[in-house]
């Protein structure tokens, strides 16, 4: 088979592939990760590349405009390489480094018009209220062992066990053969002064390693949120519980499919499964080695990893085919995984270091949600609380100390920028907050990293819709009131749209707009989340008044304007002080479980206790859902404060009209 | 480096080695195992070979007679190869296949002059008295699992766990990632009818494997006695407890040293350790594959192994350097080993099959003794019992249900044929029972496999000494009464000796004799065992009258004349019906532990409970020992029946004189 060289600009990165392979495969092999929502099926049209040199053959497509074709733009997944080629990534195709939850974003921040959004970080929460003992997944203990004598001649291993039990009450102690093999000579070389690393593996405490001398001060762990879109890793000092640093990157499985369903399909053959597994493992290795380098820590001193992720992500991380998750009756292979060695997955920390996962509840309520419930502290209270995790697959949990019920809602990708004309994820250049002043014809906005705007992410989309409602630019069905005398409202081939940012001010050179299709998608998304929430309340026959705390998590970076989310009908119309945006609660839960075996045990109790309801099989679901496809809802009595504030009760006029 | 070819006759087996390597190394690589007591140090002179062709260079030695040198006999470990060579193994150098505990020897058999010796086999014992529940180390269960529905949507793994718990009460269930990876597709392919193999790993029950359909009837285990001299493996049907077959072979580590001490020295470098480990693993693999072949069983249906062996043998099996066992204060790396996968050692059964070991007590009281105590049933009774295991390193255990004490005695290799001019192990051609008739000038004897006699093994050595005492050929100090008018008593360069078999009747063409040096070695051996036994009694301040059962194990094949053993002072002078020869009790204990986790648990309790005393540090030891260096003992009041029977009290005359 003939080989072809592909050069990717602007990096100039080069990869050699077999003739006939697609440009998407070439990009993946070159380590260049590009937007691809459909996973290479040629239907989303997101993976655009410009061919500068060389011969390619492409399938006919209606995903490209004539102008794009003239600019030599191709759909990477549908274009095969015939010779050496040079290609360029247009700005909109590029995946920027994720901006999520890195240290610089950890300040408290007030944003939005009415309500302060406070960042909550796991360890702070820990200090504030939830009390778990400090008992990390792995611990180092320095032992000065009395050497054996004729009168005290128990074996080396029993001597170690006896000494450990002077420090810690432990019944079941265990260690593996590779450690025992080294033990005799190590003890004698070290003059009976050694450090043991203890790990908690299910019911047993295992000695993970023996080290000469006192190394007990160097013991680190990694908490990971394995998200469908981003992978976030936090490095913690297991002795002190101190957070050393956090790093995030895209889950580069994205190149093989944007959402869990397309990844499950991609994983259906052995090769695809292997590739997805390898990809996320490499993502994690990159994050860990980068954290270790930055903090001058040896990988061998990282002795434990705790992962939280949705059910599909954990299956792919473990190398398990997630096929049955997608087929009725939607069964995962496992929700509770054993604690394994990170090395079993090819993850590079201490070779005998452990990897534990927060258990999930069902195919669509994963360990990320159990972790969120753990982090929220909702099971530490008699008060009834709700946790809502907003995403393509949204999840809602309702309960308290005694009971927990949950459901998942197919919200669609609108909140993550999918299905939205100018939508994008919360990464560099994304508009994240937004305010419209129709009188002065201005739109104030704020982008991630302060870059020139490239598109609009979930939080700003909510702002935009709430603002358009407030200015009565759109009606309750999400249709433009095109009689309004504003230059920002215009009609195109795709229908009516509102211009948020003019092309001159954007990074892409195109207008950033919201159109009626975008509004439809957003309304469907918020409707699904709201109906799921109402559904759970109805299950236990209570109303929103009984809900004392409403925790919100999701892929919004750190920014969500709660009042605007209530305004559009995503969140219920209850007193704003009951809401709390808890950010990446999956990561926070993973950190807690890493630092405290009792927190880890609690996460298992949470997953065991939680009863999952399948929304789609509920007979009343479609009716409820249809009622929620208005702004904020068909039934305004459910949103009295929104109705009052927007003066819908008395009048329904735009300030301009 | 130049290569040389070495051909071994009579097999004609060929091996290529580097020029300069020794013939002993060449033999080992060719899979030809030859006598070598010192482990290649050039001091025992047992590894004789005849060089037929080619050039070798040998160190000067006084281990060969002039006649031997003329016959081109060399000491293999001290002879290096200079060219292609052809060598021949003389008969006395050859290790014959072990005859120990194969099926054909399992009949009850009465031998010796006075006392019947009854073979006891573990499972019979189990039926007779000791009651352990049938709960093997691994079990297969066939499950017909209700398929998932929308209303019963727990994960595949939880569904399996739930189904297992319908059959068995188990809290801690666990399985490894490789099994989980296969689970989803396997369950669906099998139509939810699968067989699980459960294994007991320390505190946890592990699912070792999932199989499609009902395979529950095929589940087998192997019990192994890893002896210094022989390795014996028994194949058991784990469903029924039935013994399918037993096979024995030499532990071919013998090529690297006869006793544990020379093997510990050989293992002191990495390479030597690796070789000893590899050798015993290959011995075990050969036994298992031969058993499997014979009984038409797939290796993958063998799911558990239970090993018993002395502390050094288990260290070498595990690949652990046993160096500290030999150095004061004599500390093993471990007595209690975790249950591991057999595959971790390279043992070929089911890849996820388990390997457990019976725990030992100290460096010189190993798991073989714990197994023996388990098999004897002495901890199931309020009666006080003794277990004596006779060998180069002898062990004595005293106790009952409530307490156990033990010690080891350096008896030396006399009972295994070592240090005895015509001594040999209990293998083909060894004289195993013997009776002297001085009046008719005959010696009746019986050899293993009925072959022409090649030498004398431990049991016949005991017979010979007792007979010589009876005929008053020797005095109580073990010296010949050379005034006796018998042609069988003669003086040579090596001192006085008694001819047991004339050269014309032997396989080697030399006389088989016993000389005074042999008698000294035997007296030292029996003295050490007896003193160890007395020592334990003194520790708890009781005498032999209080001992209700006296169990004897050891490397005598299946033959030991108890009365003769009392006569020489090896065993105490108590009523003969209290003695029971329990044969290979290490294997019996291993079988029990394999078939019953409660027996396995009991073996751990036994090892934990047993208090080991170091004989050599006892101040009175040397005095006691010196007193025991007579036949049967200095103090005839300790052997009143022996004294009476041999008429030492009234007269001290030989029938001939």
Partners of A208 on chain B (C-beta within 8 Å) are none
Contact A352, A209 (CB under 8 A): yes
Q: Name the domain boundary from B172, B194, B212.
A: B212
Give the distance, in angstroms, between the CA of residue B159 and the centroid of all CA atoms in the same chain: 46
Q: Is residue A221 part of a domain?
A: no
Pair A206, A153 in one domain: yes
Contact A263, A39 (CB under 8 A): yes
Length of chain A, please? 657
Q: Is residue B193 part of a domain?
A: yes
- Which chain B residue shows the shortest CA-CA distance from A204? B203
Nearest Cα of chain A lies from the Cα of B324 at a distance, in angstroms, of 7
Partners of B362 on chain A (C-beta within 8 Å) are 153
The two structure tokens encoding residue A5: 């060289």
**pLDDT by residue (tens digit) across A528-584?**
999 999 999 999 999 999 999 999 987 676 678 999 999 999 999 999 999 998 888
Q: Enumerate residue ranges in chain B where pLDDT < 70.
A: 31, 33, 35-41, 43-44, 91-130, 555, 557-558, 648-657
The CATH number assigned to the domain holding A176 equals: 3.10.20.880
Length of chain B, please? 657
User: Which of A160, A334, A601 is the mutation pick for testing B, counting most B CBs within 10 A?
Assistant: A334
Partners of B150 on chain A (C-beta within 8 Å) are 328-330, 614, 617
CB atoms within 10 A of CB A403: 13
β-pairing, B3-9 vs B85-88, is parallel
**Number of domains making up chain A:** 2
Token pair 């002495």 is at which residue? B378
CB atoms within 10 A of CB B186: 15
- Nearest-CA neighbor of A160 among A177, A147, A176? A147
Q: Is residue B164 part of a domain?
A: yes
Nearest Cα of chain A lies from the Cα of B485 at a distance, in angstroms, of 53
CA–CA separation, A79 and A117 (whole Å): 45
Average pLDDT by consecutive 10-residue portion of chain A (657 residues)? 86 86 84 65 76 87 78 87 88 52 28 27 41 90 96 94 92 92 96 97 91 97 94 95 91 89 94 96 96 96 98 98 95 96 97 97 96 94 95 93 95 87 88 92 92 92 96 94 90 92 92 95 95 96 96 77 95 94 90 95 96 86 92 94 79 56
Instruction: Measure CB to CB from residue A329 to each of B153, B172, B335 and give the nearest one.
Output: B153
Is A177 close to B153, i.e. CB distance below 8 A? no
Q: What is the largest CA-CA distance in chain B?
A: 100
Q: pTM for this structure? A: 0.81
Nearest Cα of chain B lies from the Cα of A334 at a distance, in angstroms, of 5
Is B614 close to A153, i.e. CB distance below 8 A? yes
Instruction: Measure CB to CB from residue A320 to each of B149, B180, B337 and give the nearest one.
Output: B180
Q: Is residue A591 part of a domain?
A: no
Residue B366 is predicted with a pLDDT of: 97
**pLDDT by residue (tens digit) across A348-395?**
999 999 999 999 999 999 999 999 999 999 999 999 999 999 988 899
Query: How many residue contacts between A and B have a Cβ separation below 8 Å?
Result: 144
Q: Is residue B614 part of a domain?
A: no
Q: A592: number of CA atoms within 13 Å, CB side?
A: 35
Pair A27, A88 in one domain: yes
Residue A109 is predicted with a pLDDT of: 28
Nearest Cα of chain A lies from the Cα of B96 at a distance, in angstroms, of 33
* Alpha-carbon dihedral angle through residues B304, B310, B313, B317, given to the nearest 10 degrees: 20
Q: Name the domain boundary from A165, A180, A212.
A: A212
The CATH number assigned to the domain holding B81 equals: 3.10.20.30
Residue A93 is predicted with a pLDDT of: 66
Residue A85 is predicted with a pLDDT of: 92
The two structure tokens encoding residue A638: 């459910």
Residue A128 is predicted with a pLDDT of: 41
Partners of A617 on chain B (C-beta within 8 Å) are 150
Nearest Cα of chain B lies from the Cα of A356 at a distance, in angstroms, of 12
- Which chain A residue shows the shortest CA-CA distance from B355? A177
Nearest Cα of chain A lies from the Cα of B262 at a distance, in angstroms, of 19
Is B153 close to A184, i.e. CB distance below 8 A? no
* Helical ranges in A343-452 per DSSP H: 367-376
Q: Is residue A71 part of a domain?
A: yes
Residue B202: give the domain boundaries: 138-212
CA–CA separation, A624 and B541 (whole Å): 88
Pair A158, A87 in one domain: no
Residue A118 is predicted with a pLDDT of: 32
**pLDDT by residue (tens digit) across A168-203?**
888 789 999 999 999 999 999 999 999 999 999 878
- Which chain B residue shows the shortest CA-CA distance from A335? B155
Is B150 close to A338, i.e. CB distance below 8 A? no
- Which chain A residue shows the shortest CA-CA distance from B315? A181
Instruction: Measure CB to CB from residue A333 to each of B149, B150, B183 and give the nearest one.
Output: B183
Q: Is residue B407 part of a domain?
A: no
Q: Is residue A119 part of a domain?
A: no
Contact B655, B439 (CB under 8 A): yes
Token pair 């009606």 is at which residue? A475
- Nearest-CA neighbor of B369 among B351, B346, B403, B393? B393
CA–CA separation, A399 and A377 (whole Å): 11
Q: Name the domain boundary from A189, A212, A235.
A: A212
């Amino acid at each position: 088979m003939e080989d072809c060289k592909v050069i990717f600009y602007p990096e100039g990165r080069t990869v050699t592939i077999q003739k006939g392979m697609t440009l998407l495969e070439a990009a993946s092999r070159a380590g260049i990760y590009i937007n691809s929502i459909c996973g290479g099926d040629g239907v989303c049209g997101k993976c655009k590349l410009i061919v500068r040199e060389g011969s390619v053959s492409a399938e006919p497509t209606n995903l490209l405009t004539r102008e794009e074709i003239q600019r030599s733009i191709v759909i990477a997944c549908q274009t095969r390489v015939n010779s050496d080629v040079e290609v360029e990534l247009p700005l909109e195709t590029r995946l920027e480094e994720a901006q999520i939850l890195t240290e610089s974003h950890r300040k408290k921040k007030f944003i939005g018009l009415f309500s302060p959004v406070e960042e909550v970080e796991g360890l702070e929460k820990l200090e504030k209220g939830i009390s778990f003992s400090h008992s990390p997944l792995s611990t180092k203990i320095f032992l000065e062992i009395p050497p054996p004598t004729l009168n005290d001649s128990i074996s080396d291993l029993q001597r170690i066990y006896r000494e450990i039990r002077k420090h810690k009450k432990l019944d079941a102690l265990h260690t593996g053969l590779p450690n025992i093999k080294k033990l005799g000579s190590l003890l004698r070389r070290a003059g009976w002064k050694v450090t043991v690393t203890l790990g908690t593996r299910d019911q047993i405490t295992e000695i993970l390693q023996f080290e000469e001398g006192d190394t007990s001060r160097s013991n680190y762990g990694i908490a990971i949120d394995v998200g469908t879109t981003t992978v976030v890793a936090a490095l913690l000092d297991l002795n002190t519980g101190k957070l050393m640093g956090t790093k995030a990157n895209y889950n580069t499985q994205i190149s093989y499919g944007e959402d869990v369903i397309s990844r499950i399909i991609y994983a259906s053959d052995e090769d695809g499964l292997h590739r997805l597994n390898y990809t996320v493992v490499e993502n994690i290795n990159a994050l860990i080695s980068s954290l270790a380098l930055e903090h001058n820590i040896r990988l061998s001193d990282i002795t434990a990893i705790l992962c939280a992720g949705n059910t599909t992500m954990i299956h792919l991380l473990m190398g398990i085919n997630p096929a049955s998750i997608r087929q009725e009756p939607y069964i995962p292979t496992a929700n509770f995984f054993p604690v394994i060695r990170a090395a079993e997955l090819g993850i590079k920390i201490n070779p005998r270091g452990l990897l534990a996962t927060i258990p999930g509840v069902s195919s669509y309520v994963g360990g990320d949600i159990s972790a969120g419930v753990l982090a929220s502290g909702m099971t530490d209270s008699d008060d009834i609380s709700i946790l809502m995790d907003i995403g393509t697959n949204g999840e809602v949990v309702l309960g308290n100390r005694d009971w927990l019920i949950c459901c998942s809602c197919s919200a669609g990708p609108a909140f993550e920028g999918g299905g939205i004309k100018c939508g994008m994820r919360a990464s560099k250049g994304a508009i994240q907050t937004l305010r419209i002043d129709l009188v002065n014809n201005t739109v104030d906005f704020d982008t991630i990293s302060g870059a020139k705007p490239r598109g609009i992410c979930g939080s700003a989309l909510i702002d935009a819709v709430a603002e358009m409602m407030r200015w009565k630019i759109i009606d309750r069905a999400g249709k433009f009131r095109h009689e309004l005398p504003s230059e920002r409202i215009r009609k195109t081939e795709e229908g009516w749209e509102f211009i948020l940012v003019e092309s001159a001010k954007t990074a892409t050179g195109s207008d950033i707009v919201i159109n009626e299709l975008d509004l439809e998608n957003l309304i469907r998304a918020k409707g699904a989340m709201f109906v799921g929430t109402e559904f759970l309340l109805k299950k236990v026959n209570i109303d929103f008044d009984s809900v004392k705390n409403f925790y919100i998590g999701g892929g919004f970076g750190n920014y969500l304007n709660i009042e605007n989310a209530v305004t559009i009908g995503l969140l219920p119309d209850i007193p704003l002080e009951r809401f709390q945006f808890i950010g990446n609660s999956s990561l926070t839960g993973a950190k807690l479980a890493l630092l405290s075996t009792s927190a880890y045990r609690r996460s298992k109790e949470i997953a065991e206790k939680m009863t999952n309801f399948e929304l789609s099989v509920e007979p009343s679901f479609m009716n409820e859902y249809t009622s929620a496809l208005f702004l904020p809802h068909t039934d305004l009595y459910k949103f009295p404060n929104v109705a009052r504030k927007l003066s819908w009760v008395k009048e329904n006029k735009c300030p301009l009209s």
